[in-house]
Structure 1
Amino acid sequence: MSRASTQELLVLHAVRLKGMADDKAVAARFLLDQATVSELLLDYQAYGWVSWSEFAGTRGWSLTPAGRVENERQLAAERGDAGVLREVYQEFLPLNARLQQACTEWQLRPSEDDPMAFNDHTDPAWDARVVKALTALSLRLDELVQRLSGVLDRMGGYDLRFAAALGKVPRDPTWVDGSGKDSCHTVWFELHEDLIATLGVERGQ
């Protein structure tokens, strides 16, 4: 039976997944009430778990080292039997390599003169091949997320977000790997962080 996470965990975990986010973005990540989120964030600031910063027009909350420790304590207490999560993670890793390759091919289109030539998206066949690879990953993601959300409610939705971003690519190529938006790469990176955080492992293990 799938387990529901507490609001206290979801707020702190959302800050970790987003890296830096304001109250609205933290609340939106798990569809929480923004007023409740704002109160918890101020509490967490007092505990030394999050800090507010502003830089080059970007502002938001981020985890402190103490906050990361607390987040990992909460996740460890929640996960219980991690058998399914570990199985999915092992299946995710080779897919992660394919996602990285697809994003690289979206950014670069080697030529005879320049093996690192920027992809200007003027070759429909090249871009279509990358989109096909991303579509195949999207289908695999559907199945993986179904299994993950069967264990933890909060791990649902990654497949829908990835598919939504992929659907916007024909109109705007930045939806593959753009930052500052829920692009395919952003969603995938967040899922990777969610998996390693939940399992208590480091990237690359």
Structure 2
Amino acid sequence: MMNPSTPELLVLHAVRLRGVTTEAEAAARFGLDEEAVGELLLDLQAYGRVTRSAFAGTSGWSLTEAGRAEGERLLAEELAGTGHGPFVRERYETFLAYNSRCLTACTDWQLRPDGTGRLAVNTHADPVWDARILDELTVLGGVLDTLSAELGTRLTRFSGYGERFTTALARVRRGEFSWVDRPRADSCHTVWMELHEDLLATLGIRRGEEPEPRAV
């Protein structure tokens, strides 16, 4: 049975996953009404859970320590209430088993051996090198799609990761090479790392305290 999350949890979670976000981005992340999200962010600001900052002509919302703690409390409460903890943990362990492969693929997309034993910027002049990486990302996209679909049957906020990853990969195959690791956009790397953060937050696991990944 699918369980929808509360609007407060979703907004706090959207801000956490994005790091710094606008009202429009936070609303779009979970398909919420932008005006309602804006009002909720103001309420959260009044409680000291989010803060708004501006720099170089841009502005956005980010979590305070109190907001992060409240988000984690709500996530733990949700997980305990639904009883899906073991299910999510099992999918997290599957994700972790593939995590290093995604990081390696993204690194190989950026850098490649130059023939002298050193690494150089990948200029994408070698179609064989790039094709190998794209094949690997295609496999990883399938893993992500399965995990997102399975998790989404229990907690609806996990839905969509696979589609977002596949969309980014399709752009790469059309020649938009930055969509493998483009920051502040739904690139392959961003989507993968966001699911990682989502799983850690949901399970209450701190970075640096993760278990050793199992072999796949």
For the aligned pair, the TM-score class normalised by the smaller chain equals: over 0.9
Alignment of 1:75-86 (within 5 A): 75-80=75-80, 81=83, 82-86=85-89
Amino acid corresponding to residue 139 of structure 1 in structure 2 = G
Q: Give the AA of the match of 1:135.
A: T
Partner of 1:134: 137
Match for residue 192 of structure 2?
188
Matched, 1:30 2:34: no
Q: For 1:149 and 1:179, how far apart are their aligned partners in 2? A: 25
Contact in 2 for aligned 1:84/1:147 (Cα 8 Å): no
Counterparts of residues 23-172 of structure 1 (less than 5 Å) = 23-80=23-80, 81=83, 82-113=85-116, 115-170=118-173, 171-172=175-176
CA deviation after TM superposition for structure 1 residue 203, in Å = 2.0
SS in 2 for 1:109: strand
Once residues 79 and 140 of structure 1 are traced to their aligned partners in structure 2, the CA distance between those partners, rounded to angstroms, is 23
Residue 116 of structure 1, CA deviation:
1.9
> What are the Cα deviations for residues 144-165 of structure 1, in whole angstroms up to 9, with x where unaligned?
1121111100000000000000
CA RMSD across the alignment: 1.0
TM-aligned CA deviation for residue 69 of structure 1: 0.3
- Indicate which of 169, 180, 203 corresponds to 1:176: 180
Distance 1:6 1:150 in 2: 17
Tell me the amino acid that sits aligned with residue 32 of structure 2.
L
1-structure distance, mates of 2:59, 2:128 = 40
Q: Provide the rounded CA distance (Å) in 2 between the counterparts of 1:58 and 1:94.
A: 37
When normalised by structure 2's length, the TM-score is 0.92
Aligned residue for 1:203? 207
SS in 1 for 2:60: strand
CA contact 1:53–1:61 (8 Å) conserved in 2: yes
Displacement of 1:114 in angstroms is: 5.3
1:192 alignment partner AA: H
Report the Cα distance in structure 2 between the residues aligned to 1:190 and 1:59, rounded to whole angstroms: 21
CA distance, structure 2, for counterparts of residue 140 and residue 182 of structure 1 = 17
Identity of counterpart residues, as a percentage? 55
Return 5+ residue gaps in structure 1 as ranges: none
**Number of aligned residues:** 205
**Distance (whole Å) between structure 2 residues aligned to residue 132 and residue 85 of structure 1:** 27
Give the deviation of 1:56 after TM superposition.
3.3
